[in-house]
Amino acid sequence: MTAARDLSVGVDVGGTNTDAVVLDGAGTVLASTKQPTTPDVTGGIRHGIAHVLDRLGDDRARVSRVMLGTTHATNAIVSRRGLERVAVIRLGAPAATEYPPVTGWPDDLTAAGIAGTAMVRGGHMVDGAPIAPLDRDGILRFLDGLGAFDAVAVTGIFAPSYPEQEQEVAALLRDRLGPDVRVFLSQDIGPAGLLERENATVLNAALHGIARGVTRALRTVVDEQGLDAVTYFAQNDGTLMSLDYAVQYPVLTIGSGPANSIRGAAFLSGADEAIVVDVGGTTSDLGVLLNGFPRESTLPREIGGVRTNFRMPDILSLGIGGGTTVDLATGAVGPGSVGYSIEREALLFGGATPTLTDAAALEGASIDGRTLPSLPGADKTALRRALDHARERLEVAVERLSLGRADLPLVVVGGAGFLVPDGLPGAGAIVRPGHGDVANAVGAAISLAGGRADQLSDVEDRDAALDTASKAAIERAIQAGADPLRVDVVDVVETPISYTTRPTVRVSVKAAGPLADLRATAASRT
């Protein structure tokens, strides 16, 4: 890339604001903005990108990359809107029939996204031995009798380590239904746990249409602005993927917002290890920074009432934000928030709804140079108590995440970072980096492209499993947009597997690297 094409635009869509920034090749923030998130979300993206490009003037021609973190996927699951109907196939009978597919799903989500389910013979034991021969005829009978569906999700027992049967099913479906049938395999989505991996695969298939719509919207905005730029999506783990990759794996974007905040906080503060708190308009999201990346959760995560096991940042979310409402009569804090309506509804902006932003202004925080209207003494007391309560909850959250380490700095970012006091018991130094109010968009703009792979093996074959998983993770990072010559393994986790006849280990490998040269990327797309 030449120096004349060294600008990147980062965009992050939150529940209250859509943030956008422009960074040059040295990582300097040249322009930034916070725009209200619009009900259709696309409008906020359009306004954010337009604003920062206007600030650039003629330098807009130097923009070569646009990175987006968005809550589209999460919102679709939570609201049960826009989901495709999925035919769900599990390979594992007769061993895995006790808990059928989508067991425990909320009824309304099942109605919105599931066309039908089937459990057929197939799958593998932990040592790779087949549970039963693959029931090809049973799969075809299920689909022939199903009626209309949009996509197929296939999950086999221990498929991440023994992928052959899932791949055989994909070939069977394309032969029967045509090459354009949308088939999603669990081996591409998550590690070995069956039910959570199956759930994530089904959600991924259901989100395919949403992902296509978001990618079209982003490309439309980029084209409207006349940008000659390559577009990327942020992933759950703080890395990026190409738009085409995001369409295939939209479930990997669900945790991108908090991950972007943590990565952006690391970049802006220079910290490699810290606790990060991103205080937005609706929530405060706290996470831990390890070696410059978000610490990942080791526990299954629940999204929209569905238990999954894809890798997510270890985030603790509190209902504390600048728009969090305060009941002056009872002193209750939240759980409601005025969200992106704060500039109309909060007292500070001439509205009638008391919020934590109003409480902070009462305590001396400078917010857009505004002052509160005259308030009765009782109302002032209620606002001060609400702010104290919010800070007590933040203190408890920091203590939980620090695991007893009082020396970890607390990096405060987000538009409502003024809610965090300069001294918080249990935390180390309080760091408020410049441009911290748009740290999430900065995190999107500076992220690497990444990929992950898992492998099960006997302990004695651990080296071979590590090699296989490393190669697969590197290949997925390249598919996501990483430079093939600069991608490398950045994290390895080995977990012993209990209740097996022989000592067994699961190897999880993460690879990441700088984005590929744009000229090579553009050539590959033509």
Other CB atoms within a 10 A radius of the CB of residue 98 amount to 6
CATH classification at residue 481:
3.30.1660
pLDDT of the residue at 498 = 66
pLDDT at 141 over 90: yes
How many domains is the chain built from?
A: 4
Picking from 455, 448, 468, the residue whose alpha carbon sits closest to that of residue 514 is: 448
The more confident residue out of 513 and 73 is: 513
Asked, for residue 336, whether it belongs to a domain, the answer is yes
Instruction: Please check the confidence at residue 79 and state whether its pLDDT lies above 80.
Output: no
Residue 69 has pLDDT above 70, yes or no: yes
Q: What is the pLDDT of residue 518?
A: 46
The stretch 489-503 carries a mean pLDDT of 78
- Look at strands 274-279 and 240-242 and give their pairing: unpaired
Q: If you average pLDDT over residues 501-514, what whole number do you get?
A: 84
Final residue in a domain of this structure, among 180, 206, 232: 206
Residue type, 117: T
- DSSP notation for 443-497: HHHHPPEEEEEEEEEEGGGHHHHHHHHHHHHHHHHHHHTB-TTT-EEEEEEEEEE
Are 498 and 512 part of one and the same domain? Answer: yes
Instruction: Give the C-alpha distances (Å, rounded to integers) separating 252 from 91, 294, 360, 362, 403.
Output: 23, 15, 36, 41, 28
| Contact status, residue 285 vs residue 71, Cβ threshold 8 Å | no
Residues 281-300, mean pLDDT to the nearest whole number: 82
Q: Which residue has the higher pLDDT, 27 or 309?
A: 27
CA 279 to chain centre: 17
Residue 520 in this model has a pLDDT that exceeds 60: no
Q: Where does a domain end: 405, 422, 443? A: 443
Spatial separation of the C-alpha atoms in residues 350 and 353, rounded to whole Å? 9
pLDDT tens figures, 88-117: 999 999 988 889 999 999 999 999 999 999
Angstrom distance (rounded) from CA 288 to CA 273: 7
Judgement on whether residues 372 and 386 belong to the same structural domain of the protein: yes
Q: Is the model's pLDDT at 397 over the cut of 80?
A: yes
Say if residue 45 is exposed, middle or buried (CB neighbours under 10 Å; 0-12, 13-18, 19+): buried
User: 326 and 418 share a domain?
Assistant: yes
- pTM of this prediction? 0.76
**Which tokens belong to 236?**
């759950």
The side-by-side arrangement of strands in the sheet containing 17-23 is 29-36, 17-23, 7-13, 63-69, 230-234, 240-242, 449-458, 504-513, 488-497
| Same domain, residue pair 236 and 381 | no
Q: Which helix (H) or strand (E) holds 230?
A: strand 230-234
Does 114 lie in the same domain as 27? no
CATH number for the domain harbouring residue 38: 3.30.420.40
C-alpha angle 218/223/225, rounded to 5°? 100
DSSP 267: H
DSSP characters for 39-69? Answer: TTSHHHHHHHHHHHHHHHGGGGGGEEEEEEE
- Specify the range with the lowest mean pLDDT, choosing from 86-90, 166-170, 325-329, 336-340: 336-340
C-alpha span between 519 and 228 (Å, rounded):
11
Kindly report, residue by residue over 116-135, the tens digit of the pLDDT. Answer: 999 999 999 887 889 999 99
Kindly list the distances between the CA atom of residue 387 and the CA atoms of 203, 356, 361, in Å, as whole numbers in the listed order. 38, 6, 10
Torsion (CA) 149, 77, 472, 311 in degrees, nearest 10? -150
The verdict on residue 281 lying in a domain is no
Tell me how far apart the alpha carbons of residues 496 and 498 are, in angstroms, rounded to a whole number.
6
Percent residues over pLDDT 70 in the chain: 95
Q: Which pLDDT score is estimated for 192?
A: 61
Kindly state whether residue 296 falls inside one of the protein's structural domains. Answer: no
Cis, peptide link before residue 335, omega less than 30° from 0: yes
- DSSP H or E segment with residue 509: strand 504-513
Mean of pLDDT over the chain = 87
For residue 250, with 0-12 CB atoms within 10 Å meaning exposed, 13-18 middle and 19 or more buried, which class applies? buried
pLDDT for the residue 426? 77
Cα atoms in the Cβ-side hemisphere of radius 13 Å centred on 334: 20
Q: Is residue 280 part of a domain?
A: no
- Residue entry with tokens 């022989």: 502
Q: Which domain holds residue 470?
A: 448-525
One-letter identity of residue 61 = A
Q: Which two tokens stand for residue 340?
A: 């992106």
Using CA atoms, how far apart are residues 400 and 161, in angstroms rounded to an integer? 35
Position 49 scores a pLDDT of 94
CA angle 410, 394, 316 (to 5 degrees): 85
Q: Report the range out of 96-105, 189-198, 245-254 with the highest average pLDDT.
A: 96-105
Nearest CA-CA partner of 415 in 16, 3, 5, 1: 16
Q: Are residues 116 and 194 in the same domain?
A: yes
DSSP codes joined into one string, 274-315: EEEEEE-SS-EEEEEEETTEEPBP-S-EEETTEEE-S--B--
Dist. CA 303–CA 26, nearest whole Å: 37
- Boundary of a domain, candidates 443, 465, 492: 443
Write down the pLDDT at residue 390: 93
In a domain, 291, yes or no: no
Same domain, 350 and 438: yes
Same domain, 88 and 65: no
Whether pLDDT at 65 is above 60: yes
- Expressed in angstroms, the distance from the first to the final Cα of the chain is 18
* In a shared domain, residues 96 and 200: yes
167 in helix, strand or coil?
A: helix
* Residue 524: pLDDT over 50: no
Rounded to an integer, the average pLDDT of 223-251 is: 86
In a domain, 476, yes or no: yes
Please give the average per-residue pLDDT across 243-255, as a whole number: 85
φ and ψ at residue 488, rounded to 5 degrees: -155, 160
Tell me: pLDDT of 521 over 50.
no
Reported as type and span, the H/E element at residue 217 is helix 208-224
CA 234-156-205 angle, to 5 degrees, is 40
Residue 439 has pLDDT above 80, yes or no: yes
Query: Beta-carbon neighbour count of residue 384 at 10 Å?
Result: 14
User: Do residues 431 and 329 both lie within one domain?
Assistant: yes
Q: 430 in a domain, yes or no?
A: yes
- Tell the residue number behind the tokens 């940042």, with chain if given: 313
**Closest by Cα among 244, 226, 246, 230 to 1:** 230
Q: 129: how many CB neighbours lie within 10 A of its CB?
A: 9
User: Tokens 């081996």 — which residue?
Assistant: 187
pLDDT number for residue 519: 40
- Per-residue tokens: 215: 């990618």
User: Coil, helix or strand for 115?
Assistant: strand
Q: Quick one: pLDDT at residue 499?
A: 59
CA distances from 407 to 147, 275, 403 (A): 60, 10, 11
What's the whole-number mean pLDDT along residues 211-224?
86
Over the stretch 452-486, which tens digit does the pLDDT of each residue have? 888 878 888 889 989 999 999 999 889 888 889 98
